[in-house]
Structure 1
Amino acid sequence: MTHPHQNLILDQAQIQQKIIRMAYEVYENNFEEQELVLAGIYQNGYKLAELLAKQLESISPLKVSLLRVTLDKDAPLQSPVDLAPDTVILENKTIILVDDVLNTGKTLAYAMNTFLQHSPKKVEIATLVNRHHTLFPVAATYTGYSLATTLREHVDVVLQEHELAAYLH
């Protein structure tokens, strides 16, 4: 699938390689843990969390719980942050918040606030593309690809069964 007026910055093989590397980094930093909670920001962050979880389970003995984080990215205070399934225990757990692109950090900052209310042991952030335009005190612990962009440029990440790609336009 081609995207008009967009430049491909990561193709499927590159994204898969970055997910493998990120999974090894996560495991190296958390090898003493029994369990990790990968909390993906719905929609693409959750898909990335699924791909990372699958990779982590293939390279490590860690038990990985997946959590879908849903929030209004444009008006995060208008509705509560939803965590699903609500059966995942967060207290004293290592939580890795996952999103496809780290831009201003606003989405991750509001999502992080929800997790802090559950007394986690540690919270880390994983992102496929880090644009370095943070306006909130959020830094990625794990980054697939660092990209210097202008504020007017936009990064689109596609994480579909038939296509894994990242585009800049």
Structure 2
Amino acid sequence: MVFTKESLILDHTQIRQKIKRMAFEIYEQNVEEQRLVLAGIQENGYFLAQALADELREISPLAIELISVQLHKTEPLAHELTISPLPDTLEDTAVVLVDDVLNSGKTLAYTLRVFLEKGCRQLEIATLINRHHPLYPIAATYTGYSLSTTLREHIRVVWDGTEWNAYLI
């Protein structure tokens, strides 16, 4: 039996603070927008996008649209990427692509094409935790917490419906 040691790196209160700060940053950079689409990558990226949308609705007059992005993370080319609800248009729209952890950038890289094909004017990336192991040309525009890790270490973000926690494994 293999035992892994988990270390709590962010508790619920700290994560809520990071989400609030990220929402203010997103609003500052998009203050001129009429409409902002938050596209959360399933599962945890979508939950994070929901939390950001809630914060943005409280602090800004922006029309916030929330969409879900679903893709197969281990074999993204072998399976279809789906967006729901599919917006009528993304033409000339600012989009923030949201995921919980940015590691290599692979997951986010595979999602870019669908948004570029839809004609979005601006595409930004928000992530709760950035691990700094880029293998693809992806950089987060908004980061809650930046943490340099070894390649053997992993980050696990847990959302149980009421509380967030992030662990280093």
Alignment CA distance shift 1:18-1:88 (3 Å): farther
| Pairwise CA distance, 1:159 | 2.0
Which whole-Å CA distance do the structure 1 matches of 2:162 and 2:19 have between them? Answer: 17
Partner residue in 2 for 1:10: 10
Partner residue in 2 for 1:134: 134
Partner residue in 1 for 2:100: 100
Partner residue in 1 for 2:38: 38
Q: Which amino acid is 1:155 matched to?
A: I
- Is the contact made by 1:41 and 1:70 (CA closer than 8 Å) also made in structure 2? yes
Partner residue in 2 for 1:118: 118
Q: Which amino acid is 2:97 matched to?
A: L
Given the two structures, how large is their TM-score scaled by the length of structure 2?
Answer: 0.96
**Number of aligned residues:** 166
| Pairwise CA distance, 1:163 | 2.2
Which whole-Å CA distance do the structure 1 matches of 2:90 and 2:42 have between them? Answer: 18
Which whole-Å CA distance do the structure 2 matches of 1:165 and 1:7 have between them? Answer: 10
Q: Which amino acid is 1:85 matched to?
A: P
Q: Which amino acid is 2:109 matched to?
A: A
The one-character-per-residue Cα deviations of 1:49-97 (angstroms, maximum 9, x if unpaired) are 0000000000000010001000011011011210000135211100000
Percent identity (aligned): 56
Which whole-Å CA distance do the structure 2 matches of 1:153 and 1:87 have between them? Answer: 37
The one-character-per-residue Cα deviations of 1:91-131 (angstroms, maximum 9, x if unpaired) are 11000000000000000000011111111110000000000
Q: Which amino acid is 2:14 matched to?
A: Q
RMSD between aligned residues = 0.9
Contiguous gaps of at least 5 residues in structure 1: none
Which whole-Å CA distance do the structure 2 matches of 1:157 and 1:57 have between them? Answer: 24
Q: Secondary structure at the match of 1:72?
A: coil
- Is the contact made by 1:48 and 1:159 (CA closer than 8 Å) also made in structure 2? no
Which whole-Å CA distance do the structure 1 matches of 2:92 and 2:40 have between them? Answer: 19
Q: Secondary structure at the match of 1:86?
A: coil
Matched, 1:23 2:27: no
Partner residue in 2 for 1:65: 65
- Is the contact made by 1:38 and 1:49 (CA closer than 8 Å) also made in structure 2? yes
| Pairwise CA distance, 1:160 | 2.4
Partner residue in 2 for 1:155: 155
Which whole-Å CA distance do the structure 1 matches of 2:18 and 2:146 have between them? Answer: 11
Q: Secondary structure at the match of 2:111?
A: helix
Q: Which amino acid is 2:150 matched to?
A: T
Alignment CA distance shift 1:75-1:129 (3 Å): same
Partner residue in 1 for 2:89: 89
Which whole-Å CA distance do the structure 2 matches of 1:78 and 1:13 have between them? Answer: 39
Which whole-Å CA distance do the structure 1 matches of 2:42 and 2:135 have between them? Answer: 21
